[in-house]
C-alpha cells in the first residue's frame, strides 16, 4: 500500500521539528528540466558534435552515465564537461528557461519562513547548476544556508555527507525533517537517524505519479501545510 502522510499515524508533527532540510531538483523544482536535459538535450548535443546518430550517442553514453550514478561525479558538470567534450554549464544555461517551481513549493517555503524553523537547502547539484537555477527561480530568500554536496565533499547518498553537514551546521536528527525525491538519498538519511523523512509522488510533472513509495509521500506540499502559519 502506498504510504502517505494522510494514512493513520503518518501525520506530520510540526511541534517535533526544529530543522527542515530540503532537496532542490524534484522536490522544490520540477524534475522535468533535469530529465529532459540529461536524457535528451545532452545526448543530442553530443551526437551533433561527434556526427553520430542520436541512438548511437545514447548507446555510447548510457554505460558512462551508469558508472557514475550515485557518486559525486554524477552531479559534477565540470566532470561531465571533460567527459563529453563541451561545456555543460553553457548548454544548461541556454535551456534554463524551462526551470520551474513544483506546485505549492513557494507557499510551503513562505510558511516555513514564518514558522521560525531553521530551513536549509541541501542539494547534490553542482554549485554552478545551483547558480543557474537560482537566476531563474529565487531560492535564496527562503534559506538560512544553501549547501551543495560538492562543498561538503560527498554526495547525499554517503554517510560522509551527513557527518559533514552536521559538523558544518549542527542539527538534531531526531527533530529534523528531510524532504527528497530520491529514495536512495532518503535511505542514507534514514541510516543517519533523521526522524522525519518525506518524498514526492511526482517529482517530474511530465511523468506518471508514483503509485508506491517506501517512505511517507505527498503529491504536493499543500498536503502538509496544516500546523504551519498560513501566510498566503
Region(s) of the chain under CATH 3.40.50.1000: 14-30+101-224
pLDDT band at 225 (very low <50, low <70, confident <90, very high): very high
pLDDT of residue 2: 36
Residue 230: burial class (beta carbons within 10 Å; 0-12, 13-18, 19+):
exposed
User: Could you read off the pLDDT of 37-46 as tens digits, one per residue?
Assistant: 999 999 999 9
Report the distance separating Cα 32 and Cα 26, nearest Å. Answer: 8
pLDDT band at 231 (very low <50, low <70, confident <90, very high): low
User: Which three cell numbers mark 114?
Assistant: 514564518
Report the pLDDT averaged over residues 13-33.
97
Calculate the dihedral angle through the C-alpha atoms of 209, 212, 215, 216, rounding to the nearest 10 degrees. 60
Does 96 score more than 80 pLDDT? yes
pLDDT of residue 69: 87
Report the pLDDT averaged over residues 92-103.
96
Instruction: Give the percent of the chain with pLDDT over 70.
Output: 94
User: Could you read off the pLDDT of 68-93 as tens digits, one per residue?
Assistant: 988 899 999 999 999 999 999 999 99
pLDDT of residue 232: 58
Does 217 score more than 70 pLDDT? yes
Report the pLDDT averaged over residues 39-58.
95
pLDDT of residue 230: 79
Report the pLDDT averaged over residues 96-112.
97
Does 48 score more than 70 pLDDT? yes
User: Could you read off the pLDDT of 4-15 as tens digits, one per residue?
Assistant: 454 444 469 999
pLDDT of residue 4: 44
Give the pTM.
Answer: 0.93
Q: What is the architecture of the domain spanning 14-30+101-224? A: 3-Layer(aba) Sandwich (3.40)
pLDDT of residue 161: 97
User: Could you read off the pLDDT of 138-197 as tens digits, one per residue?
Assistant: 999 999 899 999 999 999 999 999 999 999 999 999 999 999 999 999 999 999 999 999
pLDDT of residue 9: 43
Amino acid at each position: 500500500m502506498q504510504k502517505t502522510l494522510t494514512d493513520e499515524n503518518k501525520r506530520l508533527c510540526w511541534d517535533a521539528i526544529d530543522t527542515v532540510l530540503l532537496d532542490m531538483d524534484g522536490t522544490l523544482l520540477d524534475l522535468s528540466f533535469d530529465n529532459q536535459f540529461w536524457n535528451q538535450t545532452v545526448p543530442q548535443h553530443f551526437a551533433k558534435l561527434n556526427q553520430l546518430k542520436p541512438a548511437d550517442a545514447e548507446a555510447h553514453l548510457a554505460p558512462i552515465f551508469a558508472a557514475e550514478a550515485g557518486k559525486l561525479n554524477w552531479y559534477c558538470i565540470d566532470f561531465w564537461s571533460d567527459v563529453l567534450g563541451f561545456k555543460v554549464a553553457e548548454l544548461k544555461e541556454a535551456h534554463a528557461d524551462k526551470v520551474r517551481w513544483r506546485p505549492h513549493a513557494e507557499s510551503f517555503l513562505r510558511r516555513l519562513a514564518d514558522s521560525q524553523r531553521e530551513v536549509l537547502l541541501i542539494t547534490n547539484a553542482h554549485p554552478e547548476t545551483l547558480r543557474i537555477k537560482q537566476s531563474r527561480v529565487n531560492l535564496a530568500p527562503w534559506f538560512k544556508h544553501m549547501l551543495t554536496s560538492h562543498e561538503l565533499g560527498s554526495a547525499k547518498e554517503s554517510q560522509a555527507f551527513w557527518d559533514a553537514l552536521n559538523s558544518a551546521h549542527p542539527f538534531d536528527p531526531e527533530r529534523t525533517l528531510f524532504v527528497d525525491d530520491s529514495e536512495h538519498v532518503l535511505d542514507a538519511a534514514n541510516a543517519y537517524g533523521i526522524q522525519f523523512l518525506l518524498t514526492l509522488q511526482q517529482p517530474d510533472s511530465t511523468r506518471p505519479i508514483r503509485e508506491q513509495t517506501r517512505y511517507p509521500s505527498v503529491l504536493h506540499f499543500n498536503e502538509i501545510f496544516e500546523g504551519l502559519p498560513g501566510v498566503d
